[in-house]
Structure 1
Amino acid sequence: MEHRQVASAEVPRQADVVIVGNGALGLFLADELMERRAGSVVVVGPSDRDAGASRAAGAMLGCFGETTSESLRTDAARTRFELGVRGHERWPDVLRRLEEFSSTGFPLQVATETHVVLNAIGAELDTVNFESMLKALDEYGKPWSEIDPQDIPGFRPRTDARALRAVCLHEEGAVDGRGVLAALEARLHATGATLVDSTVRRLIGSGDAVTGVELADGTVIEAGAVVVAVGVRSEALVRTVAADLELIPMFAGLGFAMIAQRTAGTPFSSVVRTPNRGFACGLHVVPAGPGREYIGATNRLVDDVSNVTWVADVRYLAQYGMQQLDEQIARHEVVQWLSGNRPVTLDGFPMIGWLPMNGLYLMTGTYRDGFHCAPLLATHVANELQGKPGTIDPMFSPTRRPIVTRTIDWSVEEYVQHNMAAWFETGAEAAPQMTTTQLAAFYRARGTEAYEKLGVDYALGPDVLWYAEGSLVGARRVARYLRRVGGETPVLAPASSGIGDAR
């Protein structure tokens, strides 16, 4: 079904709600508001979604497949995890609503199951997260079954990367992310929303209120409310009208994936993935329509938003896809390269809520969960825009203090385990006489030294610590913010030694 985005000359000069950002969060919110007949809605975003996370999403519907040892260890982490559980329940209705607007020629849901494989290429963290996933599935009463890895269609790794165990998650699959976005746009056009192919230069404020937005060409749209949902660029946009507002810092998590045309071997019919590991979500393949497969895994926090990736990440996907998923990937024909920037907050939790200036709402910071949770978050935000009670915990306020979930010692040990996982997966080599214990001690010393240099007592997640340890820009930003808001020594003790003991 064809649809269009209006040119600047056709842009309405007023709207009840302007949504800045046309990724999954922005489009699902617009769809929810139109479904409620909540007035005029304008969505502003470039049609190419340059550098956005949604454009590159694998769109796995996998809250339990993403489980780690941290997912349920604290009340705060459990609250965040349960957003995914509740969000998952929305997708059957979402797909029924969108299917008639799809123009892909195949169902929007490209897989109905996920196979999680445990191989020996990573490190102990793989086993820990694999077991954490099984415990979470049982605790929440979700179906799963053990399966012989050789029975997974398409899964033919190299012998030295064969799986030790594999389980099937019967209620987790994937959707065609780009197809869903296109269907949402078509539905919005049909229901009367306005989609503007542009970017917002700045927010417009009057006193203590935000009254509209100014587009890149100078066009102004007055609005009763402005929702900023432009991913990792959200913080900078908010500061165009509230420069001194104290927000949780957000970083760009650059990810890379490729879509390949299969030329040989048995195709994958389900999502196949490893557990989360090595500062990322694990190596994975997702069916992407007839004859095509989406291959992804990479994540690195970077100083600036970028729409390109590193050669090292290209090499990683190609080499380890062939090694750990299917040797026939070597013959695949790459038909599309995808890169995008996930919005990663300092404490790892979303930023959802009203800001101090009247009429300004922030909806971002969802990291890897944005696409999956978008329908649920759309309901919550639409409620709050209409003055109704929200449906998620208010702990995700954008102006909160950082949420505490770990101690410094625990943070350093997480950093060690993720580095170890990345070391072994990538086949890195040390001196032959160097033991695993010595290697862990090396990374432990680096993590400890990073905290000494930062001079802060707030414990960071492993990905943010890795970034602050390796980037002077990142370190300065983390340290300045934490010193500005005041140190808070975590008193939370780990509930168990779930991340393993590499001492």
Structure 2
Amino acid sequence: MNSDSRHPDASADAVDLAIVGNGAVAMSIAIEHRRRVPDARILVIGPGRRPGSASLAAGIMLASHSEVEATTFRHAAGRAKFDLIRTAVADWPGWLDELAAIAGLEPPRIRRGTVVLDNPNVSGFDPPNFDAILETLRRDEADHELVDPVDLRGYRPAAHLRASRGVRVPGDGAVDAFAVMNLLDGAAAALEIERLDDRVESVRDGIVRCERGPDVRAARIIVAAGAASDGLIQMIPELDGRVPRILHGTGAGNRKAAEDETTTLS
């Protein structure tokens, strides 16, 4: 690879770690691996503009109780997932501070407080899921407050679409996804993690084949490209059918600045 860390040359020695994907998960893996193995040669591969990125569309939702569903605790895997999410939410403030220190930037502000609405007029899934959230909050003795949707500022749906119940969860919240991705990019640059602006066509036998650039050889390859990972994994016979499918969702992120300079994420 040449001296320009953003344009590696596959004719050079293999990188120690190639990461397919450049969203929040992929960038975090690259940064943490660099911290643990300072002399590792790490390459992150993904389109620079991140088209269709779930990291940007979904936002960074720091929520555990608000994400509970009626089926969450019916299986050990669901319970383990909930416990993992709770731990991760608690670790986020420290993680952002560490990234900010590496990048030399201010950490983005975590905005605490999430309101969950039960709207049976829109979905039959809402009432049982809302009940499960309340039950889990009470079981964990987590801070929460029942609210009347009528009293929520800015909530003015059509009468036949109005939610019937609401609960405010102060411990859950969100952080600006764009600010987090800028922070991850800044930390990666400070740690001299190499980048390749390209799409990946296939991964096989230590070779990452890109659409435009040369093949990339790597001692280890991690596929962390969200729903795009699925097609790549299916090309590997040893893994096809052994890894849970990763499916596309549909969503959009809104980022609105109010006159009082607050930012609303939805």
Q: TM-score range with shorter-chain normalisation?
A: 0.7 to 0.9
Secondary structure, aligned partner of 1:113: strand
Contact 1:257 1:294 in 2 (8 A): no
- Residues 41 and 14 (structure 1 numbering): CA distance in 2 closer, same or farther, change over 3 Å? same
Query: Residue 221 of structure 1: CA displacement?
Result: 2.6
Contact 1:102 1:182 in 2 (8 A): no
Q: Which residue of 2 aligns with 1:113?
A: 113
Q: Which residue of 1 aligns with 2:172?
A: 172
- Show CA shifts across 1:19-68 (max 9, x none): 11111111111111112135221111111222232231222111211111
Contact 2:112 2:172 in 1 (8 A): yes
Q: Which residue of 1 aligns with 2:191?
A: 191
Contact 1:95 1:109 in 2 (8 A): no
Query: Residue 230 of structure 1: CA displacement?
Result: 1.4
Q: Any residues of structure 2 matched to 1:5-404 within 5 Å, and which?
A: 6-8=6-8, 13-38=13-38, 39-99=40-100, 101=103, 108-205=108-205, 211-242=206-237, 245-248=240-243, 250=245, 252-259=247-254, 261=256, 290=261, 293-295=264-266
- Show CA shifts across 1:327-349 (max 9, x none): xxxxxxxxxxxxxxxxxxxxxxx
Within 1, Cα distance between the matches of 2:25 and 2:253? 23
- Show CA shifts across 1:241-288 (max 9, x none): 43784334625323131536467xx98xxxxxxxxxxxxxxxxxxxxx
Query: Residue 83 of structure 1: CA displacement?
Result: 2.1
Within 2, Cα distance between the matches of 1:224 and 1:123? 48
- Show CA shifts across 1:183-212 (max 9, x none): 11110110121122112232242xxxxx23
Within 1, Cα distance between the matches of 2:264 and 2:78? 32
Secondary structure, aligned partner of 1:112: strand
Secondary structure, aligned partner of 1:68: coil
- Residues 213 and 248 (structure 1 numbering): CA distance in 2 closer, same or farther, change over 3 Å? closer
Within 2, Cα distance between the matches of 1:222 and 1:248? 23
Contact 2:5 2:192 in 1 (8 A): no
Within 2, Cα distance between the matches of 1:54 and 1:29? 14
Secondary structure, aligned partner of 1:170: strand
Within 1, Cα distance between the matches of 2:20 and 2:11? 14
Normalising by structure 1, report the TM-score: 0.46
Contact 2:120 2:127 in 1 (8 A): no
- Residues 74 and 199 (structure 1 numbering): CA distance in 2 closer, same or farther, change over 3 Å? same
Give unmatched runs, 5+ long, in structure 1.
206-210, 268-289, 296-503
Which amino acid is the alignment partner of residue 201 of structure 1?
E
Secondary structure, aligned partner of 2:242: coil
Contact 2:17 2:222 in 1 (8 A): yes
Which amino acid is the alignment partner of residue 76 of structure 1?
A
Within 1, Cα distance between the matches of 2:156 and 2:100? 32
Secondary structure, aligned partner of 2:66: coil
- Residues 168 and 239 (structure 1 numbering): CA distance in 2 closer, same or farther, change over 3 Å? closer
- Show CA shifts across 1:442-468 (max 9, x none): xxxxxxxxxxxxxxxxxxxxxxxxxxx
Contact 1:115 1:152 in 2 (8 A): no
Structure of higher CA gyration radius: 1
CA-based RMSD: 3.0
